[in-house]
A = this chain, B = another copy of it.
């Protein structure tokens, strides 16, 4: 007899995986399961809610709970923080500020940030190193209006870490893709032009104004991995 919501979750998961409750089937109500497992309905609710959150179950009031037709559709992904990511590999992290200017960003960047046209932003290019070798090339446009003055010396502190510590964050999105290395990217990362790079692109907004747009070009061989 399972006890505790985790064991109940495991038991339900087993019944799904062994096809005792096949995809599409309606499973017993919370009340019935609470009776079977001899626990409170809230405990069953907790277990089933967690399974619904990962996409194994689909729940609707009155209609009941059914096993998803295509189970395992969601994964939680750790968004790596570069310094920690490098440290986790037992390597030494360092970075070099390649570029720091102010100017109007490309249309594509302004559009993603939903920025009024021709707003000047701070443009930073940073190369992150792991044990002295190129690891990630960071291309960032930063809205000074979103940050408290004065801005720090970004050759000493990473923009990402300073921002999360000092700027109020409201919302954001993140996208992953593959792109060929441009001439300048290839040079910075010491790879061939056109090499397949894993790209992470992030936008963040504050309560009132866009904060920053970042594009991380990862060195070939980079993998983003998670359990299902």
Contact = CB atoms under 8 A, between A and B. Distances in A.
Contacts of A177: 178, 198, 221-224
B70 A164 contact: yes
A22 B220 CA distance: 37
A179 to B, nearest CB: 5
B198 A197 contact: no
Interface in A75-94: 75-79, 81, 84
Contacts of A61: none
B164 A226 contact: no
Interface stretch (A1-9, A99-107, A126-134, A168-176): A168-176
Contacts of A170: 17
Interface of A: 17-19, 22-23, 69-79, 81, 84, 161, 164-165, 168-180, 194-199, 202, 204, 207, 218, 220-228
A10 B73 CA distance: 27
Contacts of A204: 228
A76 B73 CA distance: 10
A178 B185 CA distance: 15
A198 B177 CA distance: 6
B175 A178 contact: no
A179 B198 CA distance: 8
| Assembly stoichiometry (copies) | 2
A224 B193 CA distance: 24
Nearest to A168: B17
B75 A171 contact: no
A20 to B, nearest CB: 10
Nearest to A13: B170
Contacts of A196: 178-180, 194-197
A175 B225 contact: yes
Nearest to A179: B196
B228 A171 contact: yes
A195 B147 CA distance: 39
14 contacts: A18-B168, A19-B168, A22-B165, A23-B164, A72-B164, A171-B228, A173-B228, A177-B178, A177-B198, A177-B221, A178-B178, A178-B179, A178-B197, A180-B196
A17 B223 contact: no
Contacts of A222: 177-178
